[in-house]
Chain A
Amino acid sequence: MEPVLIAPSNFFIGFFPTVIISFLLPVLGVGLFTYIMAKRIAPLVKAAPDYRFDHIPSRIMNVLKIWLAQWRQPRYMVAGVLHIIIFFGFLALAIRSTSLVIIGLKEGFVLPGMDGTLGHIYNIIKDYAATGVLIACIIAAYRRGVLRPERYDVPEKYGHDHTGEAVFVLGVIATLMITESLFEASYVAAQVQKGVPPEFLAPLTLVWFLKYIILNASIDTLQVLHIASYYIHDFTFFFFLCFLPLGKHFHVITSFFNVFFMRVKKGNIKPVKHGVSDEELDDLESFGVKKLEDFTWKHILDFYSCADCGRCSDQCPANAVSRPLSPRFISIKGRDKVFNNYPLNGPFLKSRPLIGDIYEEDEIWSCTTCGACEEECPLGIEYIDKIVDLRRGMVDEGMVPQSLQKPLSAVEKRGNPWGKMEKKRADWAKDKEFAETCSVKVLEKGATADVLYFVDSISSFDDRMQGIAQATARVLTAAGVDFGVLGKAEKDSGNEIRRFGEEMLFQDLKGQNTDAIMDSGASRIVTADPHAYNALKNDYNGLPPVEHISQVVTRSIKDGSLRLGRIEDESKVYTYHDPCYLGRHNGLYEDPREALNAIEGIRTVEMLKSRDRSFCCGGGGLMLFYEPEEEERMGVLRANMAADAGANVIVTACPFCLVNMEDAIKVAGLEGKMEAIDLVELIDRHIVK
C-alpha cells in the first residue's frame, strides 16, 4: 500500500537524501555520548574503593521499591506525582524512541514482536504516556518558573539560580513529546485527507488533538510537518542524550545504578577505607577525605545522581536553623568540582584540598548525623559517610574546632567527654535515696548477670540524666531482669567520637568496651541511650544482642512481668519525639509508642514531623560541646512543633534529646507551658507492683 506521505527515510531536499541525516545523527550522537561518558567514568576509576556487591537481594528490592516504584517520591506529593508521571512516561516511551531512530533509516520499521496486537496496544499506551508527560512538564515548568517553591532557591553564596536549567530541560522534554506526536498526527491527518483508513488514535491524547488541529492543512504542509517533526525529534533526542551527563539530569542515567548501590545497612559508618581492616589502619598514609579522589566511587556517583530537588536540605535540621550546611549543596558543589577537574575538553586537573575550597570547616562540623537527608533522597544519595570521611580528613590534619578538643582529650584520658573520674562512673547507683529502694550490681571482680545495662557517659555523670539511669534500673528491677553495670570499666560508647572523625580513639573505646562486656559474661545488653544502642549494635562486632529499654518494657508489659497503672495527670497531653538514633537509624518507632500507650488513660498526639520525618533535637555526644553558627536552636524549633501539635509534655527516649529539649523549652520561653520527660522516667512513675 502506498504511503500517504513520504517517509523521512525516502525524503529528498533537492538532491539531498535526508536518510543521511537519519544515519549521521545517531552515529554522531552516540559517539559524542560515549566520549562524554568516558570522561565521566574516569574519576570513578580513580576514586577510593567501595564494596557494594553484598546483600544482592536487598539491593534488588531497593531498585524495585525506590527506583521502579518511586517509593519516596510521594513524600512531596505534587512534585512526586509529576515526577512519577514523567518517569513512567519515559519508561513507556523507551520502545517508541528506539523504533523512531530506526524509522528514519527504514520506513515503517517496527521492533520484533511489535507488529501485531501488542504493537497496537503499545501505541495506545505510548500516546497516553506522551500526553501525560507533556501535561506534567507544563505544570512542572509553571511550578519552577512561576510558583518557585522555596526548596529550589539557591542562596547567594552558592552561585546563580538553577531555574533556567530546570525549565530548559522541561522544554526539551516537551519538544520531544510534541514532535513525536506531530510526526504521527501529520501522517494520520494525511490518511484522512486521502480517504485511506486512518490509524486508530486514542482519544484525548496529544496526538489525537494535534490531528484535529492540522486536519485541514494542505498535503504539502502535512509533508513538511512530518519530515520537520521527525528530524527535530531525532536531533532533540540525541541532544538530550548528550546533555544528560552535563548537569542534574545525569540522574536519568545514573539513578538505577545509584539506587542499586545505595546503603543497605543503616546506622553504621563506613570503614576508613574499604579493604583495610581495623588492625591495618595504623599503616595508612592518610585518613579520610581531603581531596576529591579520596571519596569512594559510589560517593562520586552520588554527586552525579543529585537531581537538585532540595528535599534533603528541606528536611535538614541544620539547614532549618541556618547553620552553614545544606546537604543539597554538598552534592551539587561536589558534582561541579568533579566536572571542573575532569573536563570534557582538556587535561584533568590536579586535585586540591576540598576544605577551604568547595567546603568550609563549619559546614562539615554542623551536621548532627540525624539521617533526615538520606531518608528523604529519592536517588539513594548518602551524606553521613561523606561528612564523617571529611571530618576524618580534618582530624588527620589537626583541623578540629577548639570547643571539641577538650572533650575529645577527656574521652581519651577519662573515657567520658566531661573528664570526670572513671571510678565515679557508677556513683549514680550509690546515691543514698536511690540505693535504699533499688540495688544495682556492679559487674566487677567476677560478678556476673544475665543482662548488662550499658549506661554510657551522659547518664552516668550528668546530674539530671542520672535520673534516667536510676529510672532504668528501677524499671529493670520491677520487670524482674537480672542485670548489672560495668562501672568504671565502661567507657564512652564512642558513637559521636567515630562520627566526628576521631576513628582511632573510637577503635580504642571499642576495644576496651568489647573486652569489658565480654568479661562481664552477660548474654544480652540493654541501654537507655540510643547513641550507645546504635554504636553497640551497628559499629561494634561480636557483642551479644543489644536492645533499647523501650523494647524490654514493651515485651515485659506483654508477658505480664511489668504492670503499669493509670496516668497520674489526666490533663496533660503527651507527644513522643522520635530520637534520630532510635527511629531513623534503627527503625524503632513502635516499641516506644506501645510502651507509652500502655499507661492507661494517657492522652497522646503525634507531631507533624514524626517517625522517619522526626526533627533532630540538636544532636548528642560531642555535638553538645560544639559551638555552631546558627540563628535558632534545633530544640527550640522542635519545642514549638510540640506546642503546635497541642502537647504540653514532650516524651523522649534519649538523654541527649532530653538535655536539648529541657534547654530549648527555657530558651523558647515555654517554661510552665511545656515540659520534657524521658520515656523510662514516665514508665518508672507508673509502675504498679
Chain B
Amino acid sequence: MNMEILVCVKRVPDTAENEIEVNSDGTDIERDDLVYSVNEWDNYAVEEAIQIVDKVGGSVTVVTVGDDESEEVLRREMAMGANNGLLLSDDAFNGSDGKGIATILKAAAEKGNYDLIMTGAQADAGAGQVGGMMAAMMDLPYASLVNKIEVIDDKKLKVGREIEGGNQEMNEIDMPCVLSIQTGINEPRYVGIRGIRKVASVEIPVQGASDLGVDAGAVGAAGADVKLVDYFVPELGEGAEMLEGSTEEIIGKLIEYLKAKGGLK
C-alpha cells in the first residue's frame, strides 16, 4: 500500500511565548515582538501523517499559504520527517478569509493525487473552518476533531473522536477524504536545531495564483466574504461574586439565587 498525504499547516504567533495585545487601531494584534511557530494542531497532524506513512508506505507533503517567512514552518515539518514542502505565495492571496484559504489549498490539492488531506482542527483565528470548507469544495468526505486514525485498507480509514463524557466514537470513512486533527492524537517527536539545519538547503517550490489556476478575484481581500470590522479586548465586568459563610449558609444562598434567577423550576 502507499498513501499520499497532504497536510495543511499554518505559521502562527506562538501562544506560550508571547504576550498578546491588541494594536492601537483595533485591526489586529501587536506583531512587532512576536515569535512564530507552526500551529500546534497542524504539528500533531504532521506527526500523525508521518507515523501512518512509516507503517504503510507513501509520502507526506506539507503545504502552507503564506509568504517567505512561512517557509520556516515548512522546513521545520520537513525536519520532522515530511518528505515534501510546498509554499503557496502570491500578493493576491493577502487578506483571504477562510473560504479564500480553502480555495487556494484546494487548487494545490487537486494538482496532486492525495489519498488523505489533513488540517489542524483550528488555528490562531479559532474558526476551525478550512478543513471542512476544503472537503465541501472538493466533494470529499470529512471528519473533524479526529483523535485516532487506523488504516483499514487503501480505500478506507477508521477515525475516532472524543465525545461527551470522555467517550470515544469511531467511524469508517472512505478515501480520499479530509480530516481535521485534534491535539493529543499522538506525541509529536522533537525537532532540534540540528534537524532544522539538515533541511536548511532543501528546495521548496513556490506556487502563485497563476501556477495554481486560481482566480485572483476569488481569493484575497477582494474575494473575502467575511470582513473584519473591529478587534478589541472586552471591558472587564465586576467579576464573580464569592459567597461567604459556612457550607450550610452558602448552600442556602445559592439555592435562593438559583430560584430568583430562574435556574430552579
Where the two chains meet, the residues of A that have a C-beta atom closer than 8 Å to any C-beta of B are 282, 287, 395-400, 402, 404-406, 408-410, 412-414, 419-421, 423, 502-505, 508
Contacts and interface: CB of A to CB of B under 8 A. Distances in A.
B80 interface: yes
18 contacts: A287-B194, A395-B194, A396-B195, A398-B80, A398-B192, A399-B189, A399-B190, A400-B189, A402-B187, A402-B188, A405-B188, A408-B190, A413-B14, A413-B37, A423-B33, A502-B193, A503-B194, A505-B192
Interface in B19-33: 19, 33
Nearest to B187: A402
A508 B197 CA distance: 12
Contacts of B16: 406, 410, 419
A398 B197 CA distance: 14
Nearest to B190: A400
Give 8 closest A-B pairs by Cβ, nearest first: A398-B189, A419-B17, A400-B190, A504-B193, A413-B35, A504-B194, A398-B190, A419-B16
B192 A502 contact: yes
B192 to A, nearest CB: 5
A502 B194 CA distance: 9
Interface SS of chain A: helix
Contacts of A502: 192-193
A190 B33 CA distance: 97
B243 interface: no
A384 to B, nearest CB: 20
Nearest to A414: B17
A421 B189 CA distance: 26
A49 to B, nearest CB: 21
B35 A505 contact: no
A421 B192 contact: no
Most A-side CB within 10 Å, residue of B188, B192, B193, B197:
B192
B35 A508 contact: no
A282 B192 CA distance: 12
Contacts of A395: 190, 192, 194
Interface in B171-229: 187-195, 197
A419 B190 contact: no
B37 A398 contact: no
A410 B37 CA distance: 11
A505 B16 CA distance: 19
Nearest to B198: A282
B44 to A, nearest CB: 11
A360 to B, nearest CB: 15
Contact of B192 (A396, A402, A410, A414): A396
Given A409-B37, A414-B35, A398 B195 contact: yes
Nearest to A407: B16
A401 to B, nearest CB: 8
A423 to B, nearest CB: 7
A97 B235 CA distance: 92
Nearest to A507: B193
Given A398-B80, A402-B187, A423-B33, A413 B17 contact: yes
B33 to A, nearest CB: 6
Given A287-B194, A398-B190, A423-B33, 19 more contacts: A282-B197, A395-B192, A395-B194, A396-B192, A397-B189, A398-B192, A402-B188, A405-B188, A406-B16, A409-B14, A413-B37, A419-B16, A419-B17, A419-B18, A421-B18, A421-B19, A503-B194, A504-B194, A508-B193
A505 B14 contact: no
A408 B196 CA distance: 14
- Which size bracket describes the interface of B in this complex? 10 to 19
A504 B190 CA distance: 14
B191 A398 contact: yes
Contacts of A282: 194, 197
Contacts of B192: 395-396, 398, 408, 502, 504-505
Nearest to A396: B194
A282 B18 CA distance: 30
A344 B158 CA distance: 51
Interface in B54-108: 80
Contacts of A404: 190
A419 B192 CA distance: 17
Contacts of B187: 402
Nearest to B43: A405
A426 to B, nearest CB: 15
A405 B33 CA distance: 22
Contacts of A406: 16
Most A-side CB within 10 Å, residue of B17, B33, B190, B197:
B190
A398 B198 CA distance: 14
Nearest to B15: A419
A421 B193 contact: no
Contact of A410 (B17, B190, B195): B17
Contact of B193 (A398, A405, A505): A505
B21 to A, nearest CB: 11
Given A419-B16, A419-B17, A405 B190 contact: yes
Nearest to B16: A419
A421 B35 CA distance: 9
B33 A412 contact: no
A505 B196 CA distance: 11
Most A-side CB within 10 Å, residue of B191, B194, B197:
B194
B46 to A, nearest CB: 12
Nearest to B17: A419
A481 to B, nearest CB: 33
A410 B19 CA distance: 13
Nearest to A404: B190
A646 to B, nearest CB: 42
Contacts of A400: 189-190
A102 B258 CA distance: 103
A678 B195 CA distance: 40
B198 to A, nearest CB: 8
A287 B190 CA distance: 14
Contacts of A399: 189-190
A397 B195 CA distance: 9
Contacts of B189: 397-400
Nearest to A503: B194
A394 B194 CA distance: 13
B33 A421 contact: yes
A282 B33 CA distance: 30
Contacts of B80: 398
Nearest to B50: A398
A503 B194 CA distance: 8
A395 B17 CA distance: 22
B106 to A, nearest CB: 31
Contacts of A398: 80, 189-192, 195
A396 B16 CA distance: 24
Nearest to B189: A398
A410 B35 CA distance: 10
A400 B194 CA distance: 14
Contacts of A508: 193
A547 B86 CA distance: 51
A405 B187 CA distance: 11
